[in-house]
Amino acid sequence: MSFSSSEKPRRRVRASLLVMAAAIPAAFLVPSVAHALTAPEPGATGDQLIVRGGPIRLGPKIHTLTNGTHATPGIVNIKVDGCHLVVNTDFATGERIIAAVADEDESLSKMGIEAGVSGGGKVANIYMYRNGKQVCPKSSVFGSTANIWLQLTSVKPA
């Protein structure tokens, strides 16, 4: 396509105006976006982070593993409901859960078992699967040394 010499400058001017029309609002938005990504949540200064959890021993006798080198702060009790673990905690009114993680120890990893948490406030439900099929926590396949490591992190506003 060819243009007459008088059409080329008009197209360039229009293109320049379009670029400027897009760039000017973007210049005002960039600082706002950057502020949104770095600004603390209202009231975040002085908020208290709370971490609960620890190792949970699986197998015929399920219990928290608490001894001279292991701790389970914030876990009130554990029970088995059907084929998953129910962990009750001392989560308080006003707290908000940030993260709920169940991690497999080396024994479970070797068996190809994966774990996940549902909930995580006052109650955390831990489910385990191998190849997409649920594995019950009292299974004898765990022996006497398999653990799920639970970590529940919450924030209590100041």
Per-domain residue ranges for the chain? 1-39, 48-156
Token representation of residue 60: 């015929």
The gap from C-alpha 114 to its chain's centroid, in whole angstroms, comes to 16
Instruction: Let me know how long the chain is.
Output: 158
Q: Which residues pair with 88 in a beta bridge?
A: 77, 123
Residue 103's H or E segment, with its range, is strand 96-104
**DSSP designation for 4:** -
Q: Which residues pair with 86 in a beta bridge?
A: 79, 125
- Nearest of 115, 86, 120, 85 to residue 100 by alpha carbon: 120
How far, in Å, CA of 153 to CA of 132, rounded?
27
Residue 37: other Cβ atoms inside 10 A: 7
Question: What does each of the 158 residues of the chain score in pLDDT, given as a tens digit?
Answer: 554 555 555 544 444 444 444 444 444 444 444 443 444 554 567 899 999 999 999 999 999 999 999 999 999 999 999 999 999 999 999 999 999 999 999 999 999 999 999 999 999 999 999 999 999 999 999 998 999 999 999 999 98
**DSSP designation for 14:** H
Burial 104-134 (b: 16+ CB within 10 A, else e): bbebbeebebbbebebbeeebbbbbeeeeee
Stated pTM of the model: 0.71
Predicted local confidence at residue 51, as pLDDT: 97
Inter-residue contact 88 to 74 (CB < 8 Å)? no
Burial 63-96 (b: 16+ CB within 10 A, else e): ebbeeeeeebebbeebeeeeebbebebebeeebe
Predicted local confidence at residue 94, as pLDDT: 94
